[in-house]
């Protein structure tokens, strides 16, 4: 005989199946497993099931059904997030389901003249980039997880990536949204307008909300002209300070054509070259720091502008060495070095990771002082610093020292992060530049965004989601 709770769970799952069909419901443990585990293996969750609605109406019906049964909903896209935000934690938050956007994967409209793309939330980022390019347009969001992360996840994390300095992050790219509110009502503000001053800009509430206020089902995003010319270079510099100076010179020298400016330490390059097959150092001589720079222009001539700029920098001593990609495939090889840093770090052992931002003018000081903190707290740790220097966003990571046990190393995460985040804040920065808060940085949000800021966030959460069913235990502690 089934006990009461088993009976209630079984009734709940039957109701869920009635709303999404058997094709949209997963209860099998093996199939669920990858959806309950975070990319880095830091979080492992539990859920009653995963529902994958195939339409907005089905998604709304699932949310209503969960609301009526006080079952928590954990929205999930490609599950590439780095703060445990997409992982269900059924206890102590109560029963939860994973609500997957993966079957909402249709491009609804591409309006070339309006420079907009409207798509369902489960479209994979690379699919959107390709659709835009086929229509001679650019969808500029680009990041290493673009082959699996989804539009809804990108919006919910206000994703940044490599082109923010030219095109902005998701907050700048989204014009309209369709969202299922926590009571199941559909909010449709899918408008492709650049100007629309009609009261509160409601879509902004859901961008970067990490699924805590609703489930995004579709969005209208900005497109841009497809560049006619592009040039990529791998540059060697003496220090982060030299990289910052070169950045200012590039902004003055090539202006709007500058689309990416990434800082990479020698330590990071070494990990990639050793760990990832087919990756090699593009320069003959080793340097302590590198910059990966890219220019793109709607007119021809990006390569000659970049070459002229770099020649001037070489002769004035702003640059040690460098190579300009001679073909698309060479440019891709250079980008592979950058995009594989996270993977190479994973292969090299456990990592303690930070995603901070500081004003660009304070980046060098942050790296110097942060490195001292890392070596003081974890002697022998490998500091792997890299990131989107053009946005002041540094991924400041430590890798497990040789001979230190994984668990002992990971136990240092909290004390190291406390000091690194405090340093970023002291320098006028943020403890989370682009990855969000999720489950990982709840204490930091309470510490550094306290007072009126956090109180208002809580009031918004309570107003939209009074029963706390949307992504429980993320952003705020479950008891809040
Ligand atoms: C190798 C690697 C490189 C990365 N590089 C970058 C980078 O350069 N810049 C950057 O910003 N991020 C980066 N990330 C982090 C990650 O890829 C982004 O945060 C991405 O936007 C997450 O998308 P996703 O579909 O995987 O979301 P998920 O991981 O599935 O979810 C992320 C959050 O969004 C919520 N969510 C997902 N879908 C929805 C929805 N439809 N409605 C409401 N809430 C939803 C989830 O509940 C969760 O809180 C990287 C990750 C990896 C693994």
Query: Tell me: the pLDDT tens digits for 138-194?
Result: 999 999 899 999 999 999 999 999 999 999 999 999 999 999 999 999 999 999 999
On the question of pLDDT at 4 being above 70, the answer is: no
Query: Tell me: the pLDDT tens digits for 103-138?
Result: 999 999 999 999 999 999 999 999 999 999 999 999
On the question of pLDDT at 1 being above 80, the answer is: no
Share of the chain above pLDDT 90, in %: 91
On the question of pLDDT at 31 being above 50, the answer is: yes
Average pLDDT over residues 331-338: 97
- Give the pLDDT of residue 168: 96
| Mean pLDDT of the residues in the chain | 95
Average pLDDT over residues 258-286: 96
340 lines ligand 1 (CB under 6 A): no
Average pLDDT over residues 310-315: 95
Joined together, the tokens standing for residue 404 give 């230190």
On the question of pLDDT at 61 being above 70, the answer is: yes
Cβ neighbours for 19, distance < 8 A, ≥ 6 positions apart: 51, 53, 58, 61, 62, 65
Average pLDDT over residues 67-81: 97
Average pLDDT over residues 8-24: 94
212 lines ligand 1 (CB under 6 A): no
d(CA 277, CA 333): 12
Test site for ligand 1: of 34, 81, 209, 264, most ligand atoms within 8 A of the Cβ: 81
- Give the pLDDT of residue 365: 98
- Give the pLDDT of residue 412: 97
- Give the pLDDT of residue 40: 78
72 lines ligand 1 (CB under 6 A): no
Query: Tell me: the pLDDT tens digits for 379-425?
Result: 999 999 999 999 999 999 999 999 999 999 999 999 999 999 999 99
Q: Is residue 196 helix, strand or coil?
A: coil
Ligand 1 centroid–CA 434 distance in Å is 10
Average pLDDT over residues 448-459: 94
Band of pLDDT at residue 450, cut at 50, 70 and 90: confident
Nearest atom (ligand 1) to Cα of 104: 41
d(CA 439, CA 210): 10
Band of pLDDT at residue 94, cut at 50, 70 and 90: confident
Q: What is the DSSP letter of 209?
A: S
121 lines ligand 1 (CB under 6 A): yes
215 lines ligand 1 (CB under 6 A): yes
Band of pLDDT at residue 15, cut at 50, 70 and 90: very high
Nearest atom (ligand 1) to Cα of 179: 42
262 lines ligand 1 (CB under 6 A): no
Nearest to 461 by CA among 435, 480, 438: 480
- Give the pLDDT of residue 479: 64
Ligand 1 centroid–CA 302 distance in Å is 31
pTM of the model: 0.94
Nearest atom (ligand 1) to Cα of 342: 1
Exposure string of 450-469, with b = 16+ CB inside 10 Å and e = fewer, is eeeebeebeeebeebbeebb
On the question of pLDDT at 2 being above 60, the answer is: no
Average pLDDT over residues 437-464: 95
In DSSP notation, 229-273 reads EEEEEEEEES-HHHHHHHHHHHHHHHGGGEEEEEEEEHHHHHHHH
Nearest to 149 by CA among 211, 203, 101, 216: 101
- Strand positions, DSSP E, 53-200: 72-76, 96-100, 107-111, 116-120, 137-138, 174-180, 186-189
């Amino acid at each position: 005989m089934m006990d009461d709770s088993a009976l209630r769970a079984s009734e709940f799952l039957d109701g869920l199946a009635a709303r999404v069909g058997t094709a949209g419901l997963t209860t099998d443990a093996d199939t669920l497993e990858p959806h309950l585990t975070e990319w880095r293996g830091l979080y492992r969750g539990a859920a009653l099931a995963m529902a994958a609605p195939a339409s907005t109406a089905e998604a709304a019906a699932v949310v209503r059904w969960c609301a009526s049964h006080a079952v928590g909903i954990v929205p999930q896209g490609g599950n590439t997030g780095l703060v445990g935000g997409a992982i269900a934690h059924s206890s102590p938050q109560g029963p939860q389901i994973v609500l997957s956007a993966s079957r909402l994967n249709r491009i609804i409209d591409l309006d070339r003249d309006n420079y907009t793309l409207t798509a369902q939330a489960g479209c994979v980022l690379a699919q959107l980039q390709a659709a835009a390019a086929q229509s001679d347009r650019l969808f500029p969001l680009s990041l290493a997880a673009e082959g699996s992360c989804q539009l809804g996840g990108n919006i919910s994390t206000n994703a940044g990536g490599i082109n923010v300095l030219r095109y902005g992050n998701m907050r700048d790219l989204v014009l309209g949204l369709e969202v299922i509110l926590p009571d199941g009502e559909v909010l449709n503000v899918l408008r492709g307008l650049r100007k629309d001053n009609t009261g509160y800009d409601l879509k902004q509430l859901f961008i970067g909300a990490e699924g805590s206020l609703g489930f995004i089902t579709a969005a209208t995003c900005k497109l841009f002209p497809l560049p006619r010319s592009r040039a990529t270079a791998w540059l060697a510099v003496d220090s982060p300070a030299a990289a910052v100076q070169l950045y200012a010179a590039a902004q003055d020298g090539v202006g709007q054509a500058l689309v990416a400016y990434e800082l990479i330490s020698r330590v990071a390059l070494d990990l990639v070259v050793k760990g990832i097959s087919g990756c090699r150092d593009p320069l003959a001589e080793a340097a302590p720091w590198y910059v990966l720079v890219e220019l793109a222009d709607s007119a021809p001539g990006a390569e000659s502008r970049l070459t002229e700029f770099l020649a001037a920098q070489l002769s004035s001593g702003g640059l040690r060495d460098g190579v300009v990609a001679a073909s698309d495939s060479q440019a891709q090889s250079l980008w592979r070095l950058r995009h594989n840093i996270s993977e190479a770090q994973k292969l090299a052992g456990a990592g303690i990771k930070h995603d901070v931002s500081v004003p660009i003018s304070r980046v060098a000081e942050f790296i110097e002082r942060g490195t001292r903190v890392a070596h003081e707290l974890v002697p022998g740790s490998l500091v792997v610093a890299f990131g989107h220097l053009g946005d002041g966003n540094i991924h400041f990571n430590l890798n497990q020292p040789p001979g230190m046990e994984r668990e002992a190393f990971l136990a240092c995460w909290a004390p190291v992060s406390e000091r690194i985040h405090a340093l970023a804040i002291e320098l006028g920065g943020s403890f989370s530049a682009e990855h969000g808060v999720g489950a990982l940085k709840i204490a930091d949000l309470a510490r550094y965004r306290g007072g009126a800021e956090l109180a208002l966030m809580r009031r918004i959460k309570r107003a939209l989601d009074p029963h706390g069913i949307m992504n429980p235990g993320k952003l705020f502690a479950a008891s809040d």
